[in-house]
Structure 1
Amino acid sequence: MALVVNLEKSAQALVLSLEKAGITQPPILEVGFGLDVSKSFEDEHRSGITDVLLTRLVPWGLAFDPDKKLDCFTFSDGPAHVCDVGPVDASNYQGFIPRKVVNKVIGWNGGTDYSYLLEKMLTHFGWRQPEQPGFIKRLFGAKPVETVEKRRSLIIVATDGDNYDPDRTRMVLEESQARKDEVYFLFLGISNQKVKFEFLRSIGDVFDNTGFVRIEDLHGFVEKSDEELNELLITDELLSWLKR
């Protein structure tokens, strides 16, 4: 399944949706995309529907990101299964998931943990300090990992089910909130199997920089007009965060 869209037109539609909501100029934000590659999500990846979802999100990078891109990461279970698959932009979005992700990324068909993805992306955007090599590694010549500039960021996470690490995920979010990180996490819970996403609902209620949108019919969701899509994704809480 493939979709070709007028990305500039879609980006302009997003800008207009924001203007109607009182944001006359979209703030400059780095935009990140985290994609669940657990076993239960395999069919959606292989069918191409998550590639279409990514296509519909590329205009968010055009509208917000100074480099007009989305930084894409995949994740399943454990810290070793978070993979930086590179930026997605107007030049490479078509077929990105089958080309770069399906049966290629580390952690393909694993379980589901959120905390390690969140840590990786917070580090990537400068809000969390990277782990430095230990004493033994330094003895053998390992160099310190450089920190990066803090960049205000919108991170969209697409997942099809609840995670195995709720306590650790809450801890990561609590630490981020305590640091006053300028990051908003928007979780997209995707399932037509009556999954309740109770954990995602709970963190969406607890943390004012964490939102949740449930998508029961992904095919129907990606076929919506730009205006309809924006109305679903731009929640009141996200609007409040964007206006800060």
Structure 2
Amino acid sequence: MNHLTVGQRAPLSNFAIDDTAPITLKFTRQSPIEMDISCFALDAAGKLINDDYMVFYNQPTSPCGQIKLTHYESQPTASKGIQAEFEVNLSKLADNIDSLFFVLSADTPLNQIQSLEIGIWQQVQKAQAEYQAADFAQQQASMLMQLYRKGGVWRVSNVAQGFNGGLAAIVQHFGGDVEEDTTQAADVTTTPVQTKPSLEKVMLDKAPKLVNLAKKATISLEKRQLQQLTAKVALVLDASGSMNRQYKKGRVQEVVNRILPLAVNFDDDQALDCWAFARDPQYLGEIGLNNYDGFIKNAHGGWRKWVLGPRINNEAEVMKAVTEFYQKDGLDVPIYVLFISDGGVNDNRGITRVMTDAAKLPIFWQFVGLGGRGYGILKKLDDMEGRVIDNCDFFELDDLDDISEETLYENMLEEFPSWLKEAREIGLISK
């Protein structure tokens, strides 16, 4: 049987689970306090499909009949026992259901729970996640486990992310409705202390063209409680010959525009570091609110004049350059790297070696395939073994116009929070 560690993500097929057949999730607990376990069916933006798609003891079946709470025991217990069993049929869920989130909640701090286990069954037990009191701290809710689609494949993520405010706050977080008096109580416990000016206000003052992007980025940041995070942001741009069309059509400049709100939110300097690469890497300098507009056409004489050697792919070299840059810089805060490629990837060994070494550093790599193919090892890095931590993610899209800005931010930030949590736990970044 496979054990799912906190932060681990993998396709269900890795555990010999057939996503075309029903699966059962069994929640076994030993707890002196009452606790609730619920399942939320969410769309691609991370919002509850509607209130009927919150499956719990008082609403045990989803409207489609493919998510069922088949067993439930609400009372505390001094010995281990099964509290809940959910049966889900992933292949028969509607296309607008992008993920299922299984949530634990209580009216008192969860660290009073002695133990909790989640078993994933399909005829026999295929995988298991285990939690102890120390995993829950003082929160009254925890987003435990997620089943989600990625690239048409169902995957599992052991999220184990605490959430202040209890069940009502999570319902609000997912866009559901709660009673008015509960809403007021949730507001008291979930509203963070604002030590930074709002992203929207900064953009309105300094880059009004990006205000709408800032609003959409803020939604994703708030959902993941990242508004107050201090981090550095880097952008790495494929400038090989096959990318010419993306540069000419303004797609690369649009990437700059869309990532800048994240840099403004995270970085004290409200700027990001930018590299381009072909055979050779080139550091293009910082992109900030005063120079983002037209950066691709203007920086170092414009993209056609960048000093990159022959316009062929060499991902490993630029990855080494980025890593060395931040090692010299001090690695005092986490670093988020958005890496754009249209494929044609080579030197799989070199990339694997760099990523394995970089896993020991506080650097998270978000790879994005843009309008190409042949992404090779970049698609496989997310599940690569031999690293101290999973330090990357990958998604692809044919055209930026094919994806909404909201969905793009959701994809860009999908795995970053769980990496942050695990990186803190193993001491890569400070608490």
TM-score range, shorter chain: 0.7 to 0.9
- Residue type at the aligned position of 1:51: Q
Larger radius of gyration between Structure 1 and Structure 2: 2
* Structure 1: gaps (5+ residues): 127-146
Matched residue, 2:163 = none
Taking the aligned partners of 1:92 and 1:55, their CA distance within structure 2 comes to 11
- After superposing the two structures, state which structure 1 stretch, 104-113 or 159-168, moved more: 104-113
The partner residue of 2:269 within 61, 64, 67 is 67
- Verify the 8 A CA contact 1:74 1:83 in the aligned structure 2: yes
- Higher RCO (C-alpha under 8 Å, 6+ residues apart): 1
Question: Per the alignment, do residues 24 and 200 of structure 1 end up closer, same or farther by CA in structure 2, a change over 3 Å counting?
Answer: closer
Q: Is the 8 A contact 1:11 1:62 kept in 2?
A: no
- In structure 2, do the counterparts of structure 1 residues 9 and 217 end up closer, same or farther at CA, with 3 Å as the change threshold? closer
Q: Residue 105 of structure 1: CA displacement?
A: 0.7
Contact 1:159 1:190 in 2 (8 A): yes
Is the 8 Å Cα contact of residues 190 and 216 (structure 1) preserved in structure 2? yes
Shift, 1:229, TM fit: 2.4
Partner of 1:86: 285
Alignment equivalent of 1:174, drawn from 356, 364, 375: 356
SS in 1 for 2:285: strand
**Structure 2 unpaired stretches of 5+:** 1-206, 425-431
CA distance in 2, matches of 1:92, 1:99: 9
The percentage of aligned residue pairs carrying the same residue is: 25
Give the equivalent residue in structure 2 for 1:112. 313
Cα separation, 1, equivalents of 2:253 and 2:308:
18
User: Structure 1 length normalisation: TM-score?
Assistant: 0.78
Aligned to 2:368: 188
Mapped contact 2:335–2:363 kept (Cα < 8 A): yes
TM-score (norm 2): 0.46
Q: How far apart, in 1, do the equivalents of 2:213 and 2:400 lie?
A: 19
> Deviation digits for residues 32-79 of structure 1, max 9, x if unmatched?
0000000000111122121112111111111111211110100012xx
Q: Which of 191, 198, 208 is matched with 2:376 structurally? A: 198
SS in structure 2 of the partner of residue 34 of structure 1: strand
Does structure 2 retain, via aligned residues, the 8 Å contact 1:8–1:62? no
Greater percentage in helix: 1
CA–CA separation in structure 2 for the residues paired with 1:91 and 1:109: 31
**CA distance, structure 2, for counterparts of residue 51 and residue 203 of structure 1:** 26
Alignment of 1:1-244 (within 5 A): 6-8=209-211, 10-21=213-224, 23=225, 25-77=227-279, 81-100=280-299, 101-107=302-308, 110-126=311-327, 147-151=328-332, 152-177=334-359, 180-191=360-371, 195=373, 197-206=375-384, 208-221=390-403, 224-225=404-405, 227-235=406-414, 237-243=415-421, 244=424
Structure 2 CA distance for aligned equivalents of residues 95 and 220 of structure 1 = 23
Structure with a larger share of its residues in strand: 2
